[in-house]
Structure 1
Amino acid sequence: MIAWTEDQLRLRDALRRWHERLSADHIELDRRAVFPDALWRLVCESGLLRVPFDERWGGLGQDLLTTMSLLEDLGHGCRNGGLIFSICTHLCSTGVPIQRFGSTALKDRYMAGLCDGATIGAHAITEPGSGSDALSMRTTARLSADGDGYVINGSKTFVSNGPVADLFVVYVRTEPKHGALGVTAFVIERGTPGFSIGRPIEKMGLRTSPLCELFFDDCRVPKFSVLGGPGLGFSILDHVMKWEILCSFIVNVGEMRYRFERCVDYAKTRRQFDRPIGSFQSVANKIVDMLMRLETSRIWLYQTARRFLNDENVTTDISIAKLLASEGNVASAMDAVQIFGGNGYMTEFGLEKDLRNAVAGTIYSGTSEIQRDRIAKMLGL
């Protein structure tokens, strides 16, 4: 495992002091399915959004592993899973690609606002007719008649942070016949003429992280809004998805750790038939399985992150890590509900919310089925 430096531990401890405040009213906010503006302001105040970005923009200049460690700790300490998901979307899907691939003009225009949280970020890939099959996207961008910009037409759906975002990284087709090389990423501001944001879509879990559809009707954007360069959209997306999986699912490890600790305490104190329920093998085995899942997921995620930072091929590792963490989180949440019995099914204990939130992880960032298909292909099957 990783030996964290004193500076890293001090930063973790400094951010840990915010966890309880960020958990405020988490059950009621989930029930109402609203984005917690007041809590977002606390996130901005905490400095968490600055962690992985360069100091020249107001960031803290920390690396991927440090960012992951802080997000794991946040998953353990903060009970508002939707808020954490919005944080990860903002960091990984908007800030990371603009810092890594953006022109000087794009960075100068947007990075400071992304670092301090005054600008909320989102990204848009999925369309009503294409989810896992991203190459089937139909939203297009063509050069304007005067050649000074692009005109975008189409729509996107399931856009996390969409209803509250100020800035969007949007992936569209610029060369329909060129396959993956015909996709370009654009950075688009809310309020751009021809760009409209649909109503929030109600969902099963992560309910404090809003999502919606986006619509583009002859939406004209300047050439400097191209991220990285024409045709580089899928290369950018590949980098983004690695960051997204490593950061979003290390949060799940933190959540599993919190749930494991809670179940151990409950199994020691809850008595049935004049015995602590942890003395029953059926309960004890569930808790042991919870521990194995969280430790295996943690090892795979950090190991994959180290290999990624060393520029090694982590295609298979990323898929395995994502499967372990997402499916392990669902199993862990289900076990916790069972261990708590009737209490686990009740809203006030927060465990049924954990289960609803966990299911989403088997779908976003590439479904479990897609991950297994990728692994099989890497095996030559």
Structure 2
Amino acid sequence: MDFDPSPEQRQRAASIRTAAGGLPRPERGTPAGRDLWEAAGKIGVTGLCLPADCGGGGLGALDTALALEAFRAGGADTGHSFGIAAHLLACGTVLAEHAHEPVRAELLRGLAAGTTIAANAMTEDEAGSDLSRLATTAVADGDSYVLNGVKSFVSNGPLADVVVTYAVTSPEAGYLGLSVFAVRTGSPGFRAGPALDKAGLAGCAAARVEFAGCRVPRSHLIGSEGQGSAIFQGSMAWERACLPAIYLGAMQEQLDQCLAHCRQRRQFGRRIGDFQAVAHRLATMRRRLESSRLLLYRACWLIDRDSPGAGEAVALAKVAVTEAAIANGVDAARLSGAQGYLAGAGVGSHLQDAVPLHIFSGTTDIQQEIIARGMGL
């Protein structure tokens, strides 16, 4: 395995990182607006892994992860980066691989440009990790399907133009009775609730969405009836591998800030970085970052090669990034002292943004189960 990024990968990452540094951040506590989405689209971030013939970058999983990491490391807001990753990985990959023409091309062109915002609607109040408990239904009626149900924690929900959602079309088939639909948010019977008041990731608005007799054209069925579970698992492989890359970028920014602080801050007549306890904490933060980075790159590399071991590698990488991001967030707060506890300092927001890693895209407990099964348990 070659651990050295290619000149093309380095150049792409440097270009995205520089461009991200020029983007304004959303006001603290507010989601990114359409202006920021379109600005991200102009530098290619909203279309990284979408097909080139639809305006996307045509990138594989590893190149997508490298680009998302660079985008966040360059200074893009973590919540906005999260929203873009969800738009790309949970929605864009599904449309690219399974939607039917001409709907596929029309939607993907907008997604790639950042002018069409996508949201993934799978989770329900009684169905998080257990997809067999989905209550949302889709009933065929002539040239349409009629959807009824409520989805929760829909990232990008308040802004979305299209929602990729999962509904039961064959109740008797259980887990194999799910189907996928691309629902335009202007459709009669669709309603997005107000943005949820979250503890972190404020740059990504999330909401509950409701389908109440929502009529969706048959042309907007993604794939075939009953393919929902397989389609979802495919999109989750992309999301679980590539989305945590934004946290690699956040941890790099965090480590750089901590190093600068520890070189400048003086106590007892010395820089605090000269104290062994402080220096070793910084070394541990870097070790966590570098080890989780290598696991994530390896997982993406295996996805690009369609390796049978990719699923377990993705689970290992997601757990590693999760634990590193949270632990580094705690250490950064300790290194910053009382100053870091101030809302405007940014130290606390790193930790608040990292905690949901334990939950989204498959909980840490689910990832641990995947790892355990991979060991034959």
Does TM-score exceed 0.5, indicating one fold?
yes
Is 1:91 matched up with 2:88? yes
Counterparts in 2 of 1:19-98, with a 5 A limit? 19-22=20-23, 24-26=24-26, 29-31=27-29, 33-98=30-95
Letter in 2 for 1:310: R
Letter in 2 for 1:219: C
- Does the aligned pair in 1 maintain the 2:73–2:250 contact within 8 Å? yes
Percent of residue pairs bearing the same amino acid type = 33
Secondary structure of the corresponding residue to residue 17 of structure 1: helix
Q: Offset at 1:13?
A: 2.7
Counterparts in 2 of 1:236-275, with a 5 A limit? 236-275=231-270
Is 1:103 matched up with 2:100? yes
Q: Offset at 1:64?
A: 2.1
Counterparts in 2 of 1:97-136, with a 5 A limit? 97-136=94-133
Deviation string 1:45-91 (CA, Å, 9 cap, x unpaired) is 22222322222112232222211111111121124111101110111
Which of 327, 340, 364 in structure 2 is aligned with 1:368? 364
- Does the aligned pair in 1 maintain the 2:192–2:209 contact within 8 Å? yes
Q: Which residue of 2 aligns with 1:16?
A: 17
- Identify the range of structure 1 (173-182 vs 233-242) with the bigger mean alpha-carbon deviation: 173-182
Counterparts in 2 of 1:270-309, with a 5 A limit? 270-309=265-304
C-alpha separation in 2, matches of 1:378 and 1:55:
35
State TM-score, norm by structure 1: 0.94
Letter in 2 for 1:198: G
Q: Which residue of 2 aligns with 1:217?
A: 212
Q: Which residue of 2 aligns with 1:191?
A: 186
Q: Offset at 1:35?
A: 2.8
Is 1:349 matched up with 2:351? no
C-alpha separation in 1, matches of 2:371 and 2:48:
32
Deviation string 1:146-173 (CA, Å, 9 cap, x unpaired) is 3x22111111000000000001110111
Letter in 2 for 1:360: P
- Identify the range of structure 1 (366-375 vs 181-190) with the bigger mean alpha-carbon deviation: 366-375
Secondary structure of the corresponding residue to residue 187 of structure 2: coil
Is 1:202 matched up with 2:201? no
Secondary structure of the corresponding residue to residue 147 of structure 2: strand
C-alpha separation in 2, matches of 1:176 and 1:330:
40
Letter in 1 for 2:354: A
C-alpha separation in 1, matches of 2:324 and 2:44:
30
Letter in 2 for 1:13: A
Q: Offset at 1:193?
A: 1.4
- Identify the range of structure 1 (47-56 vs 188-197) with the bigger mean alpha-carbon deviation: 47-56
Letter in 2 for 1:56: D
C-alpha separation in 2, matches of 1:332 and 1:253:
11
Change (3 A) 1:13 1:374: closer
Deviation string 1:112-148 (CA, Å, 9 cap, x unpaired) is 111111110111010011112122111111111x3x2
Name stretches of at least 5 consecutive residues in structure 2 with no aligned partner: none
Change (3 A) 1:317 1:25: closer
- Does the aligned pair in 2 maintain the 1:186–1:226 contact within 8 Å? yes
C-alpha separation in 2, matches of 1:16 and 1:345:
28
- Does the aligned pair in 1 maintain the 2:138–2:168 contact within 8 Å? yes
Letter in 2 for 1:179: G
Q: How many residues align?
A: 375
C-alpha separation in 2, matches of 1:5 and 1:79:
24
- Identify the range of structure 1 (230-239 vs 37-46) with the bigger mean alpha-carbon deviation: 37-46
- Does the aligned pair in 1 maintain the 2:16–2:74 contact within 8 Å? no
Letter in 2 for 1:9: R
Letter in 2 for 1:171: Y
- Does the aligned pair in 1 maintain the 2:37–2:115 contact within 8 Å? no
C-alpha separation in 2, matches of 1:111 and 1:123:
15
How large is the RMSD of aligned CA atoms in angstroms?
Answer: 1.6
Change (3 A) 1:11 1:379: closer
Q: Which residue of 2 aligns with 1:327?
A: 323
Which of 171, 176, 180 in structure 1 is aligned with 2:166? 171
- Does the aligned pair in 2 maintain the 1:155–1:215 contact within 8 Å? yes
C-alpha separation in 1, matches of 2:103 and 2:35:
28
Letter in 2 for 1:264: L
C-alpha separation in 1, matches of 2:306 and 2:16:
30
Deviation string 1:221-265 (CA, Å, 9 cap, x unpaired) is 121111111111111111111111222111111111121122122
